[in-house]
Structure 1
Amino acid sequence: MSDAYSGTPALTAEQRAVVEQPADALTLVTAQAGAGKTHTLVRRLDRLVAEEDVSAGEILVLTFSRAAVRELKNRLSRYGEAARNVRAQTFDSWALGLLRQVDAQGGWLDKSFDARIEGAQEAIEKGLADELYEDDLRHVVIDEVQDLVGARRDLVETLLERYDCGFTVVGDPAQSIYGFTVENPDEREGETNRFFDWLRITFGEELTELSLTENFRARTRDAQVACHFGPRLRTLAESGDANGEAHYNELRHVLADVTDFGDFDAFAADALTGYAGTTAILCRYNGQALVVSERLHALGVPHRLQRSAQDRVAPAWLGLLMARCDASSLSRKSFDELISDLPLPDGSETDSLWRLLQRTGSGRGSDRFLDLARLRSALATGRLPDELTAQPPARLVVSSFHRAKGLEFDRVLVVDPGPLRVADSSKRKKVDQNPAEEARLLYVAMTRPRDELYRISELETRTIRTDDGTGRWGRYHFQYWRRDGLELKGGDVLTEYPAGTVDFDAVAADVQHYLGTAVRPGDEVKLERLHPEPVGMLESPPYLIRHDGRPIGTASEKFRSDLFKFLKQSPKFVPRSFPALISGVHVDAVETVAGNEAAGIRAGLNPLGVWLAPRLVGLSTFTWDKKEPDVQAQ
């Protein structure tokens, strides 16, 4: 392994102890922020395959985000020798794949993330997955296990208890920040550190506990200001979360002492665009991230909003590739020729992309052909490998604290989350904030930088809050009946039919060419109301999506339904006026989608039913007709 790892840091004694555990060892690793965890896991996997005689197919690697999957696979590709073909997956991708094998008719793609996790746990518990794992699973690697709560914790506990295999699980109680996903407040508090306790009780003296304590991420004193909170927060989590408020306030005090980045103005724009490294602006809530993104767009600063871990976006190059195919299969030689001028992510390797497409089950008899019908099925059913659906890297990322988990950047700007709140500004609804979890969350945000940490003053977002009916962020007004804007996100563009065939007439092939060549992430679009009257009950009228004045799509039924709900101010109120224009929306990505195959043929596109569509993002602003919007009857 020495040649592959030349130029990489030598293993510390702590890391080597993890790497050299035997394949059947039951190992719990507590790794603090920036402790070289990914580097250690890559070396661990490589040794399992090279020296412990474990095949890549006998190892299950699970993590929480596609970004983490991409990073792990990139490291394995660059540095792994024997473990180069080990597959890492997100929990959702793995659970869906398992369920499709043991219950192909269960309609799992249409069910929620939690339902799939619960279904996978039940399948393992009932022995339905024994054929997959009983004899062919020798080692399980799980990252970020401090965030195993609720259904995901039940799933992993069932997996590790049922199958006789070794495991390496890595986590840090000081970074446990997903307790809020457990709906029952009484159960939520007990989830912190629960998985660690379960491991110790279940496996007793067989469990080997190791630690990674040296920080390799933070390279400057500025970046290290919050690192010393790790052991304290870890002890806090293990002792039942007492005194969380004091720790949170102390962390905020430390944040207050770091350099203030200033306002979002021309000087900030120059500082953000002129920096050669990677930067993240981290916000407590995604609503704040949407506001920051809006201000950056106003300054002309290119950036990317971090998506939710559950968002799966097929890249545009895949649709462009399939559009060029005129046969039912694709040879490796043709693949190399067709992909040569496509907009691939930076650093992409043709061999790696081919192997990822092969992994969808699209290989036809050998590794020299792809069955395009099977590839289309994988796209339609959400079975593309996680590495293909991960967001590409960006120099400037805007994210919530939660979505930045596991990521690192050269420079981080943390938006002051403000004091702990008991109730919101309207005094109508309690705000459920666990002080200890808030302290851990702020610690996570402040330990993301390698070199520089800055503070951004608390944002004014009193008019921005989530809408209970849709779960989207919305703009409100002091006049309770008034609505000024609504969040746009994935699923808001009609994808079942190609653009140009519904709500507006255009040559579909021309729209596809425009999407593939002229539309870029970050571009502004506007949603223009087609006519004042809805076409169905409980929804808004249709909206055209215009890019530089040209229609490139139409709003989905989901968006029209949610817009209706957002404007419906009470059970008896029926909206009759809808915004004439919805602006402040941007292109998140141009994505590949699978829709109605017959519609694609009628539109003159390829017979696979695959085409491009814009994916939208942003906290929009409504422009109404000259008359005032509906006023709630008194």
Structure 2
Amino acid sequence: MTLNLLMPLDPEQQMVVNAPIDSNLLVQAGPGRGKTHVLVSRIANLVDTIQCLPGELLVLSFSRAARDELKRRIGLLDEQSNASAVTIRTIDSFASLILKQASGETTGTYDERIVRAIRDLDDDPEACGVIQYKHVLVDEAQDIIGPRADMLLKLLDQMPQAGFTVFADSAQAIYDFGLLDNDGLTTSREMLQVFECRELPTPVQVLRLTKYYRSSDPALVELCSVPWAALVDGEPDLAKIGLDSSLALSLSGGSLAALSWPTPDRGQSRAVVCPNNGQVLLAASRSILAGEDVVIARGERDWAHPAWVGRLLLGRPKTEEITIELLAGALASRLPYDVSPAEAHLALRRGCYAGMANPRVRDVVTALNLAQQFAKLPLPEVSYNPIVFSTIHRSKGREYDEVAYVDYVPWVGSEEPTPGYNQRMRFVGLSRAKVRNFRLNPGANVMLAKSKSSDRWTECQFVSSGKRGVRAFEVGVQGDVDPASFVRYSSMDAASSAQAALVNLCNRGEIVDLVLGPPREEGASPIYSIIHRSTGLRVGEMSAWFSRDLQATRLTVQGWGRELPLPSKLEGCWVRGIYTATPGDCESMEGIPPEVAASLLWCYVEVEGLAKAVWS
């Protein structure tokens, strides 16, 4: 298993890579230290030196994104290796694998499955299939808290034969907010302290990777060295001095409402990093209306499936078999940009877990409803270099050339989930840049509030007697859009025509407005139409739930008033993307042509933004 070492290993990295298979290592590695390269190199070395077979290695990660990157890196190992035999799992998916091997029962929530997996490990680790592993590598250990931390501790107990290499960055342990409501849950620091006491098969060595490779800028090197070490050592007050200095040395980037940083070089990546989603929405909304290309960093939504599936199979009978011949013939004009029939056929088979068989349309619908992942086949993009707007939590693990950062300031009277949490948040936000940081002013006149009755952010202003009124609402909460409205037409021809217009008009970032209309039936909530701003065409509708939640949000945030009218218009949303819908996504299928209802697949638009409320 030979690794092409495009980046040579420094002495600290080499020490980790060359450690014997029975070693227990706790490796503290901050941003820009080449941690993933070291992890993959260690795997290659353990196999190359015949200390184990690939199938005797287990790699555990906190997130799917990190798992996928590890799979990609390990896939770069030479073709003669058996790299695919290395088990690479998230903690959650490994718990499901344990349950499948121990009892075959994998139902329940993630946390419920993890609790049952811990119990099965306690009862019979051999039946759980963990005894086969000679070495376990753990990535992002600082993010593993609660039941997941308990499961890792149980693996340490029940796998005394295995060495562990645990990669962590205690300076980036920022998921402790999940512990606020339950003091009894295990923190990542507690888990790592227990691991440091492990004696079998050999005592734990604590190592640090200290050389910073991401940037040569002296300010960023200093930031990721001195404050980082202070946070790892549990000295947040010392770290604060360095973080304050780093922020003070940053150039001004304007404010959330009006970014003012230099035009980037061609291909240069930029991000705006904020403490909360309300600030992200505000900054992104102002920027897109100023003509910038904007992307909000969000987690992949299980219910948001790529548009090419719905576009390809709109109106096809649910019993129809999808063959390569069908894709090359009747459906050829619907194929995504630069995608062959064979590539689309393979993507459909994989999404349906169909093996070598031809999937039917109903198999695709079933897979979508079960939240199976379909490949995002290539589509032409309007822009290739958007500004990414992200919370500090979402930015973790990512890097950009330039970052405009809003400093993390906790709410007055709030407590830290764990000691040093506030300074760790600041460190994560400031350490995303590769070239330079800019500091952003949050704005003295900006008031953002989140409704207690929903997940919807609002922008407010003071009115008479110290009362506040809502001036803008967040759009883009799950359930806001009515997917059925995109095919609610009198005939299949009309629905097909509307779908074609939708795909051609609604590129990512296109501005749309929401205009209040009448309810679908007497006594029901009025409905907002989605209007494509540049053409004035209606491209869909929001759900009745959206109207109800908007009213509830306004009442909760304002704290006064009763029967308040809904805004007649919400201005300045934009298209997040086009996705595939099934009847499982809809409150009602009323008004949908029978042919569409029979095929069960079509496209719809998701919109987002902090939309200005207009009352006429």
TM-score by length of 2: 0.80
CA positional deviation for 1:410 = 1.9
Q: Secondary structure at the match of 1:193?
A: helix
**Contact 1:501–1:603 (CA<8 Å) still a contact in 2?**
no
CA positional deviation for 1:69 = 4.0
Report the Cα distance in structure 2 between the residues aligned to 1:573 and 1:100, rounded to whole angstroms. 54
1:553 and 2:540 equivalent?
A: yes
1:478 and 2:462 equivalent?
A: yes
Report the Cα distance in structure 2 between the residues aligned to 1:550 and 1:318, rounded to whole angstroms. 24
Written as runs of structure 1 = structure 2, the 5 A alignment for 1:197-346 is 197-202=193-198, 205-228=202-225, 229-236=227-234, 244-245=236-237, 247-262=239-254, 268=260, 271-272=263-264, 274-308=265-299, 313-323=304-314, 328-330=320-322, 342-343=335-336
Matched with 2:507 is 520
Report the Cα distance in structure 2 between the residues aligned to 1:277 and 1:328, rounded to whole angstroms. 46
Residues 226 and 134 of structure 1, relative CA distance in 2, 3 Å threshold: closer
Specify which of 6, 9, 20 is matched with residue 7 of structure 2: 9
**Contact 1:601–1:607 (CA<8 Å) still a contact in 2?**
no
Q: Which moved more, 1:354-363 or 1:136-145?
A: 354-363
CA positional deviation for 1:552 = 2.6
Residues 206 and 517 of structure 1, relative CA distance in 2, 3 Å threshold: farther
User: How many residues in Structure 1 have an aligned counterpart in Structure 2?
Assistant: 593
CA positional deviation for 1:152 = 2.8
Report the Cα distance in structure 2 between the residues aligned to 1:80 and 1:199, rounded to whole angstroms. 33
C-alpha RMSD of the superposition: 4.4
CA positional deviation for 1:527 = 1.9
1:451 and 2:407 equivalent?
A: no
Residues 17 and 249 of structure 1, relative CA distance in 2, 3 Å threshold: closer
1:122 and 2:116 equivalent?
A: yes
Letter in 2 for 1:397: V
Q: Secondary structure at the match of 1:397?
A: strand
Q: Secondary structure at the match of 2:233?
A: helix
Q: Secondary structure at the match of 2:412?
A: coil
Letter in 2 for 1:216: Y
Letter in 2 for 1:580: S
CA positional deviation for 1:137 = 5.7
Letter in 1 for 2:208: S
Matched with 2:574 is 586
Report the Cα distance in structure 2 between the residues aligned to 1:435 and 1:153, rounded to whole angstroms. 18
CA positional deviation for 1:517 = 2.8
Written as runs of structure 1 = structure 2, the 5 A alignment for 1:502-521 is 507-521=494-508
Residues 225 and 161 of structure 1, relative CA distance in 2, 3 Å threshold: same
Matched with 2:528 is 543
Residues 500 and 107 of structure 1, relative CA distance in 2, 3 Å threshold: farther
Report the Cα distance in structure 1 between the residues aligned to 2:445 and 2:55, rounded to whole angstroms. 49
CA positional deviation for 1:185 = 7.0
**Sequence identity percentage:** 24
Residues 477 and 155 of structure 1, relative CA distance in 2, 3 Å threshold: farther
Q: Which moved more, 1:22-31 or 1:519-528?
A: 22-31
Written as runs of structure 1 = structure 2, the 5 A alignment for 1:141-152 is 141-152=137-148
Matched with 1:415 is 406
Letter in 2 for 1:384: Q
Report the Cα distance in structure 2 between the residues aligned to 1:87 and 1:485, rounded to whole angstroms. 48
Matched with 2:367 is 378
CA positional deviation for 1:531 = 1.7
Runs (5+) with no aligned partner, structure 2: none
CA positional deviation for 1:291 = 1.4
Larger Rg: 2
Matched with 2:479 is 492
Report the Cα distance in structure 1 between the residues aligned to 2:4 and 2:513, rounded to whole angstroms. 49
**Contact 1:121–1:158 (CA<8 Å) still a contact in 2?**
no
**Contact 2:149–2:188 (CA<8 Å) still a contact in 1?**
no
Written as runs of structure 1 = structure 2, the 5 A alignment for 1:339-354 is 342-343=335-336
TM-score by length of 1: 0.78
CA positional deviation for 1:94 = 6.0
Report the Cα distance in structure 2 between the residues aligned to 1:162 and 1:466, rounded to whole angstroms. 45
Q: Secondary structure at the match of 1:215?
A: coil
**Contact 1:507–1:603 (CA<8 Å) still a contact in 2?**
no
CA positional deviation for 1:264 = 7.4
CA positional deviation for 1:532 = 6.6
Question: Could you give the per-residue CA deviations for residues 141-186 of structure 1, whole angstroms, max 9, x where no partner exists?
Answer: 4321111122332343344544565543311111111111113375
Q: Which moved more, 1:196-205 or 1:209-218?
A: 196-205
Residues 343 and 401 of structure 1, relative CA distance in 2, 3 Å threshold: farther
Letter in 2 for 1:64: S
Residues 406 and 43 of structure 1, relative CA distance in 2, 3 Å threshold: same
Report the Cα distance in structure 2 between the residues aligned to 1:382 and 1:23, rounded to whole angstroms. 38
